[in-house]
């Protein structure tokens, strides 16, 4: 009949359905983040009920919730966003699915600078050494970009330069810790990665740097999508590869420098989360990066809560927990990638 219409093929999804699923997934990730944040406020050496947490949030005199766990939770949220976005940008920039924000030596640069000022200048607060962390991260970023070829830098050259600088700087950090026993106690919890040093106002001082880095990372989603097709294709689409790479390194420097200054070098968060996100969203960074910004704090705060619960009344530092979880994860993906290529 002329008025009849053919039924849609069951194998073809209606337009917009994939986008709706992704948006629903973002909402689910946001709800999961809210649950983990509530657990971070409630669980620890002294478990609290939800009513105690609720009242403690609005009582400035509450020592456990308002002065200890709330700053720690907010710091975990901010640092998680920074590490997740840095990992997503880093893997896109190097076209390496096993890349971590520390791959280019940026975490190592920030760590070396902070350890130096702790040891030689006696500084011991976030506000005292955040600018040194940025300076160290920025100097290493410029060095690696230059060694990697400058405007002609390729992902392979950047990765090789970063690996060499990484090894050199972490050897320096270890040497300073061994030689300066007076400062060792100040540095030992920071160098394993910890949220335990959070103070009221720490996250607020960190937030502007992370906000600028996050805005830059999200703005780079479309150019990095084009860059994934190759430099020639990216130029044909209107992107400028050298500028995109330079802007990406600046964004990662801001994100990693701020996170490292506040908590020390926390590993594998930037590696694991983009992998998990990619299986949900596909390769489009316009969706990947928002997912990373929500799910990385989930992983970081979840690891922090696990470290507090497992070692009551003490705690296992969050950097140790993420390393224990991330190590097998990393080996699994190395083997998986090898099997796929074979």
Interatomic CA distance for residues 166 and 332, integer angstroms: 23
| pLDDT band (50, 70, 90) for residue 8 | very low
- Predicted confidence at residue 11, as pLDDT, reads 40
Interatomic CA distance for residues 123 and 17, integer angstroms: 54
Interatomic CA distance for residues 323 and 108, integer angstroms: 16
- Separation in Å, CA 2 to CA 6, 8, 9: 11, 17, 19
Closest CA to 140 of 163, 114, 110: 110
Q: Is the pLDDT of residue 303 over 60?
A: yes
How many other β-carbons are positioned within 10 Å of the β-carbon of residue 70?
21
- Residues 94-119 have pLDDT tens digits of 777 777 776 677 888 888 888 888 88
| pLDDT band (50, 70, 90) for residue 292 | very high
Alpha-helix runs per DSSP H in 64-154: 70-94, 106-120, 126-147
Let me know if 18 is exposed, middle or buried by CB neighbors in 10 A (0-12, 13-18, 19+). Answer: middle
Which of 2-16, 170-184, 252-266 is the least confident region?
2-16
Interatomic CA distance for residues 245 and 272, integer angstroms: 22
- Is there a contact between 240 and 274 (Cβ–Cβ < 8 Å)? no
Q: Where are the domains of the chain?
A: 61-341
**CB neighbour list of residue 267: distance below 8 Å, 6 or more residues apart:** 100, 102, 193, 319, 322, 323, 326
Which of 25-39, 100-114, 148-162 is the least confident region?
148-162
- Predicted confidence at residue 297, as pLDDT, reads 96
Which of 37-51, 55-69, 172-186 is the least confident region?
172-186
User: What percentage of residues in the chain have a pLDDT greater than 90?
Assistant: 26
- Is there a contact between 200 and 71 (Cβ–Cβ < 8 Å)? yes
Structure tokens of 272? 């694991």
pTM for the full predicted model: 0.85
Interatomic CA distance for residues 135 and 77, integer angstroms: 24
Fold observed for domain 61-341: ABC transporter involved in vitamin B12 uptake, BtuC (1.10.3470)
- Predicted confidence at residue 157, as pLDDT, reads 75
Q: Is the pLDDT of residue 1 over 90?
A: no
**Cα angle 145-148-152, degrees, rounded to a multiple of 5:** 90
């Amino acid at each position: 009949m002329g008025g009849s219409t053919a039924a849609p093929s069951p194998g073809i999804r209606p337009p917009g359905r994939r986008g709706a699923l992704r948006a629903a997934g973002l909402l689910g990730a946001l709800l999961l983040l809210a649950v983990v944040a509530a657990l971070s406020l409630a669980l620890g050496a002294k478990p609290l009920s939800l009513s105690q947490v609720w009242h403690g949030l609005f009582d400035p005199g509450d020592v456990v919730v308002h002065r200890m766990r709330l700053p720690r939770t907010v710091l975990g949220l901010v640092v998680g966003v920074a590490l997740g976005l840095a990992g997503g940008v880093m893997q896109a920039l190097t076209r390496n699915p096993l890349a971590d924000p520390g791959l280019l030596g940026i975490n190592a640069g920030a760590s070396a600078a902070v350890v130096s000022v702790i040891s030689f200048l006696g500084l011991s607060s976030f506000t005292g050494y955040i600018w040194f962390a940025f300076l160290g991260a920025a100097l290493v970023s410029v060095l690696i970009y230059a060694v990697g070829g400058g405007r002609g830098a390729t992902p392979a050259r950047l990765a090789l330069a970063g690996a060499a600088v990484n090894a050199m700087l972490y050897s320096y950090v270890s040497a300073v810790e061994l030689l300066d026993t007076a400062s060792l106690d100040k540095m030992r919890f920071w160098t394993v990665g910890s949220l335990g040093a959070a103070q009221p106002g720490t996250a607020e001082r960190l937030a502007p740097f992370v906000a600028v880095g996050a805005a830059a990372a999200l703005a780079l989603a479309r150019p990095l999508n084009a860059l994934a097709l190759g430099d020639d294709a990216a130029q044909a689409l209107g992107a400028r590869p050298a500028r995109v790479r330079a802007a990406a390194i600046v964004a990662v420097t801001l994100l990693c420098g701020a996170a490292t200054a506040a908590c020390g070098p926390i590993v594998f968060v930037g590696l694991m989360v983009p992998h998990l996100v990619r299986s949900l969203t596909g390769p489009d960074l316009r969706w990947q990066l928002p997912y990373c910004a929500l799910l990385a704090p989930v992983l970081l705060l979840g690891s922090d809560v696990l470290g507090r619960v497992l070692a009551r009344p003490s705690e296992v530092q969050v950097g140790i927990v993420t390393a224990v979880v991330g190590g097998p994860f990393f080996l699994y993906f190395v083997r998986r990638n090898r099997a796929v290529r074979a």
